[in-house]
Amino acid sequence: MPAEIRNTRQKAAIRSAFTTADRPLSPEEVLGYAQREVPQVSIATVYRNIGTLVDEGWLVRVDIPGEPARYEVAGKKHHHHFRCNDCGKVFELEGCQMLPRPKLPRGFRTTGHEFFLFGTCAACVSFTL
């Protein structure tokens, strides 16, 4: 099979991983999803394609305090993230309700913010009951 076709199938499987999961994914999670469609996808291929998809603006990086980055599909409305302490999955939180707003020092102006929650996801809570 020509490399062009194989790479296109691999890239499509990697894109599919993000749209199927609909949450931020680590490269290792992407590999697991992508290998369901194209078993020969390697972790090197995942990293290379994530880099390309970020460069193309299709993916954005999600930075998690103290952990390697995850990636998610670009172009979503402003939102925040939740990381499950048990399974390690990262989920999107819809919207932004930053209340109360922090009081800034005189003369300061906010241009953006980050907000990250940690806890236990519903699947892990159910599992431990």
Residue 110 pLDDT: 79
More confident residue, 59 or 95: 59
Residue 81 pLDDT: 87
Strands 59-62 and 80-84: unpaired
Specify whether the CB–CB gap between 77 and 91 falls below 8 A. Answer: no
Q: Where a domain ends, among 73, 99, 115?
A: 73
Same domain, 113 and 61: no
Residue at token pair 């296109």: 8
53-78 per-position pLDDT tens digit: 999 999 999 998 888 999 999 999 88
Domain containing 30 — which CATH number?
A: 1.10.10.10
Q: Where a domain ends, among 27, 50, 73?
A: 73
14-30 per-position pLDDT tens digit: 999 999 999 999 999 99
> DSSP letters along 46-103, please?
HHHHHHHHHHTTSEEEE--TTS--EEEESSPPS-EEEEETTT--EEEE-S----SPPP
Q: Give the span between the Cα atoms of 81 and 62, in whole angstroms.
A: 9
Same domain, 42 and 92: no
pLDDT greater than 50 at residue 1: no
pLDDT greater than 50 at residue 94: yes
Same domain, 29 and 86: no
Residue 108 domain boundaries: 80-128
- pTM metric for this prediction: 0.78
Domain count, the chain: 2
Same domain, 21 and 59: yes
Helix, strand, or coil (residue 19): helix
Same domain, 7 and 67: yes
